[in-house]
Structure 1
Amino acid sequence: MPAGSFLKWEQIADGDGDVYEDEGNDVDAVTRAVRTPNAARLADLAGPVVRVEVLREFHVHDQQAVLKAARSAGWEPQPHDDLEGEDPEDVIGAIMWLGESDSEIEGADTVTDTSQGLRLHTENGHEVADWSEEAVVADFGAGWRYTAAVRRGELVTPSMRKKTPDFAALFATEALHCDDPECEEERCQWQLTPRTADILYTELCVLADQAYEDSEKLGDRPVVPDQHDGQWGVFAYLPKLTFAADLQWRRRFARAADDLAGDLERGQWPEPTCTAEELALHLAIRDAGDRGDEGDDAGDHGTLPTHRDDYDFDMCSEVSFQDTDVLMLYNSRFDGIEDPDGETNQHMGIGDLRVAAWFEPFLNVQARDPRRGFRR
């Protein structure tokens, strides 16, 4: 309130006539009650309620500088009796105080700074934190560096490898007829080798896991490239016409990667049956090619037999696709080419590449079982 204002005790006790400042405007208690009633539960609030979860990590490289900066900003450490033994100077409190600002912290560097949002719904069992019966837990998923390390084969845990199929048996190679790379004998033609199949299977599994995780976090929200690059492992890297897709579409894309991995588990070449599977396989082959021979002897992978055709992902790409029309969606020159009624689309015989048609089975392959469900 302005300096020199007076308020009757009855007004304070009853809240009648209470005034507070809202961005420079005085708002009376009636308006405040309509907007956000005190101690309201989720069901009492008419408008949408959004929970923002923030994860920030700081490396304190100069502890005294951090403490000095916090004190200069008005912070006071907790009494020694309240502090834990490993933090006698309340460095955690100093970082929490300074971390409320977006400015750099003297004596500390930011290691992680990310956030995610969730709209609360009573029908989903949500409740505002103050009234929640359960602890509010935020899941930011596996770190992107960890995920990348798994993809490159640098981190392979026994639990991950337990479920790996026996690719040596599933994709047993025939002995070469000769050493001539130009030989046209069938045994000298390119073969999908156990090592290539293993790497491709790993990439498809990682792609599916990332897509499922990103689906849960994104929900029905659109992808905003400038905000989400580097945050989402999959959907920020699909063609832009998919950015407004909903949760169910994203889950189906994750399943498309799972379906292709399932082909390899059964000893079959991964054959795309729809546009979504085509792009998922393109992404997996790309990531497998970027990996190259790095870590090719790690874990059980190193026990697989070697072959001349190992890691030839260019040839893998050449034999896996009927065409590469879906990649044209990345080129702004071809904006609108996804429409089957468009002149260019019809001239080139591309077909329907609109988002809603990505899971329609191709006419010249056997469709997946529509009752197969989702892995997670």
Structure 2
Amino acid sequence: MTVALSISDVHVTLGANHVLKGVSLDVAPGEFVTLLGASGSGKSTLLNVIAGLQSVDSGHVAFDGTNVEKRSPQKRNVGVVFQSYALFPHLTIGENVAFPLLAARRPAKERRAAAEEMLALVQLPGMADREPSSLSGGQRQRVALARALAANPGILLLDEPMAALDKQLREHMQVEITRIQRKVGITTVSVTHDQTEALTMSDRVAIMHEGQLVQVSSPEELYRRPVNAYVASFLGEANLLPTVDDALVDDATGLLVDGTAVLRPEDMSIVAAYESTPAWSIEGVVRLVSFQGSRYRLEIATDYGRKVVASLSPSSDVSALGVGERVRLACRNSDRVHVIEAVATAAIPVPA
């Protein structure tokens, strides 16, 4: 595989904290990779290492096969979009976008043309002479993206670029940034704590935990075949139930548990009283039924206190699902059941 960005066994210590512990990651040209993890997992530190804003204790960072870990940020040819957008309030939109070219001492005519081209790319044509204060949050984000792309960088870095936006605008900008990234074809590494954002925008997602990469895979692979219980729980909601001989068990006391089944709520359905018991099923008492617009969320508690959640169609008849009623839930499609081996399950704790 041709590699645009290669991170090899990188260690970073900040004070007494070992923040990155031997991180290795290869990113292909034009690929969009998102670093996803909880606060303190090391994802922002890793992005800063790529940008040159954080030095490494050991290990290597290479762009197109050339080591750059000793290069200053200005000499790395990366574009960065920060969470705050960091626009200069005393400059016009066009001057903000062209600023990297001004720093590189490009001619004024070239700067103006590049700014107009980039603003057209992010669907803000004709706004070069406006002030940043006159723009909405989404428009300021597009300007920040245009500025990051103006100098034609080899790598684009996105540092929680949509954290300040409301939900509806954030979803719209996820699509827009993905469209622009695909059109330009630039190698991109993003940092986020938003699971939906990571799944929507990325070719691959890198799950980080305590300074290490736990799993790096396509969004679908991570969601459907997580390597351990931590990944299963971190990326979306999941029912994690012990298994013995390819069957669910509620009480694992005295049993040789051989794994943990990952059952997504949208794959669970109610077993009618007249049906035979499906293979991947478990019984419990209704604790909660809530209408959430696109679904009913059904939560049951098994006899041994395990919580199991099902996501039901909004057209479902839930009139009989009163709190305290017994119900059996099942995943009827065995292809939707992923069993994590017991050793992998115990490797990393499930997030609270």
Q: Pick the TM interval, shorter chain.
A: under 0.3
Whose strand fraction is larger, Structure 1's or Structure 2's? 2
Instruction: Give TM-score, length-normalised by structure 1.
Output: 0.23
The TM-score, its normalising length taken from structure 2, stands at 0.24
